[in-house]
Amino acid sequence: MSKTTPPPAEFEAEFINGLKTIFEEKIVFNQVLGLKITSLLPDRVAGRIDMKHQLVGHYSHNRVHGGVISACLDAMGGLACMAAIGARHMDEAPEQRLHRFAKLGTIDLRIDYLRPGISEYFDLHAEVMRLGSRVASTRMEFRGADGKLLSTGAGAYIVS
């Protein structure tokens, strides 16, 4: 990066609110999952989902479906990319930066299921390991209410 403007310590409310609207409402399936952004920093993002009947994957243990985990971690990895891209383009107006979200796409995703997903709610974390001009690599975590690491993820995303 030949950029001379340093990454911002934090984002403007307009950018954060815009990103929340896209992420929590316009991406309809995130709404089905009940996925909420809890923290949005240039270098890491966090989110949360509450456990509910709809998300059950294992009928006898009230365990969250593995697909809920993969869906949430894919979404969080994308959000981390969006934060990193946003931080790189602070010279653009918030609205212009938000348009960049539409161009983001997952190339591939890996999820490791470590422990059964049983909890009242789950905390999700994602960070960008490297943001290139074409591809970004991310790491994600899915934790129980007690902080225990339940699943981890890694993803590659097309950025532009």
Using CB under 8 A as the criterion, which residues of the chain lie in contact with its own copies when the complex forms? 22, 26-30, 32-33, 53-60, 65-68, 70-72, 74-75, 102, 105-116, 129-130, 134-135, 137, 139, 149, 152, 154, 156, 158
CB 9 → its own copies: shortest distance, Å? 23
CB 6 → its own copies: shortest distance, Å? 19
CB atoms within 10 A of CB 36: 17
Distance CA 35, CA 29 (A): 9
Residue with Cβ nearer its own copies (86 or 155): 155
Distances (CA, A) of 117 to 52, 68, 69, 120: 12, 10, 8, 10
Residue with Cβ nearer its own copies (89 or 148): 148
Distance CA 91, CA 44 (A): 20
Contact status, residue 90 vs residue 8, Cβ threshold 8 Å: yes
CB atoms within 10 A of CB 118: 15
Residue with Cβ nearer its own copies (13 or 28): 28
Residue with Cβ nearer its own copies (28 or 91): 28
Residue with Cβ nearer its own copies (13 or 59): 59
Q: What angle do CA 125, 129, 134 make, to 5 degrees?
A: 115
CB 54 → its own copies: shortest distance, Å? 5
